[in-house]
Amino acid sequence: MTPLEILTAAMTGSPAPRIPVFCNLPDHGARELGMPAKQYFSKGEYVADAQLRMRRRYGYDNIWSLHYVGKEAELLGCREILFADDGVPNVADFVIKNLDDIAKLEIPADITQQPAWQPVSDSLQILQSEVGATHPICTYITASTTLPAILMGMDKWMELFLLGPFDVRDELLRKCSDFCQQEIAALRALGTNVLIYSTPFGSPYFVSRKQIEQIVMPWMRRDLLPGGSEGVVYYCGMAPFNDVIDLVFDELHIKAHHISPLADIAEAKRLIGNRGLTCGVIDDIKMIHWSAEQTRAEVQRIVEIGKTGGHFLFGNGVMPMAVPEANIQAMVAAAFEYGRLA
């Protein structure tokens, strides 16, 4: 079976020789090609080449097309990204500097015509051509309720979200949701089949369950309404969200859940059951200091809890660049070994 077929089997509960094994290395590509991060992210060909090379080397199932989260801010007018050769690119120019800027914010009529979109399109077209028929292609979407954090900064967004003015907050959320709908449609048109829907505000770790039900959930429904939830993965960063799994099924019909390492994986598996896919996630920050043996032991623990009954995938969060290569190799190898089903 191809990796894409194995993923489909895990989603549906069909027989397969093993669980799917994902590994997320979006920030490692520049080092893989031996070039500065700013140069690496300037061309989609570089991103695709590096991701294909790393997938061949480590052997995991998925392929990433994510450039950096700030790319969405660039599509909305951000003029400066701070690139670092040993970490994640960050927004250095907030699009929204004061509340008056929210009224001025314009969502492009077609984001695919923005210059910042071209590298995304180029990389996805290459990945689709090279491995689209056999491997899951992962892309990243920031939910409308989280996108303002990279447009104005988390502190200002939390203040607006919680304290208002609420008409201004809702105007911003409407614009962000319009953007989100466009981005999802554009990525699907380019062949992605795994959409990592990043929604930290969908976790009770960030806001209360009442706020999730009354504020966050309606906007997430709007984000996903045009194209539905097929291929969407509910992802709250590394924040736990077991308490809202049933709500996500009922309200959003999202079937794949990226479970936080801080959450009880056994509880999550019980809650999800055979309704969808439980993604068991290793704490890859701890992998910076673990030995290969410690990494293998943690993979074994997670996989043996999750794989019983199928409907399970093993993966990581966003692998820090400081994690030793030996630990990445140990993680992937152990997931294949302990993830055998037949």
Strands 194-198 and 256-258: unpaired
Residue-level pLDDT, tens digit, the chain, 342 residues: 999 999 999 999 999 999 999 999 999 999 999 999 999 999 999 999 999 999 999 999 999 998 998 999 999 999 999 998 888 899 999 999 999 999 999 999 999 999 999 999 999 999 999 999 999 999 999 999 999 999 999 999 999 999 999 999 999 999 999 999 999 999 999 999 999 999 999 999 999 999 999 999 999 999 999 999 999 999 999 999 999 999 999 999 999 999 999 999 999 999 999 999 999 999 999 999 999 999 999 999 999 999 999 999 999 999 999 999 999 999 999 999 999 997
Q: Which residue has the tokens 């120019």?
A: 93
Q: What is the C-alpha to C-alpha distance for residues 179 and 81, in angstroms, rounded to an integer? A: 20
Partners of 315 in beta bridges:
281
Residue 290's pLDDT is what?
Answer: 98
Partners of 256 in beta bridges:
233, 277
Residue 147's pLDDT is what?
Answer: 98
What domains can be seen in the chain, in order of their start residue?
A: 3-338 (3.20.20.210)
Q: What is the C-alpha to C-alpha distance for residues 75 and 62, in angstroms, rounded to an integer? A: 26
Q: Which residue has the tokens 């899951």?
A: 136
Q: What is the C-alpha to C-alpha distance for residues 118 and 186, in angstroms, rounded to an integer? A: 12
What 3-state DSSP class applies to 227?
coil
Residue 86's pLDDT is what?
Answer: 82
Q: Exposed/middle/buried for 247, CB within 10 Å: 0-12, 13-18, 19+?
A: middle
Q: Which residue has the tokens 């979200």?
A: 161
pTM: 0.96
Asked whether 282 and 16 are in contact (CB, 8 A), the reply is no
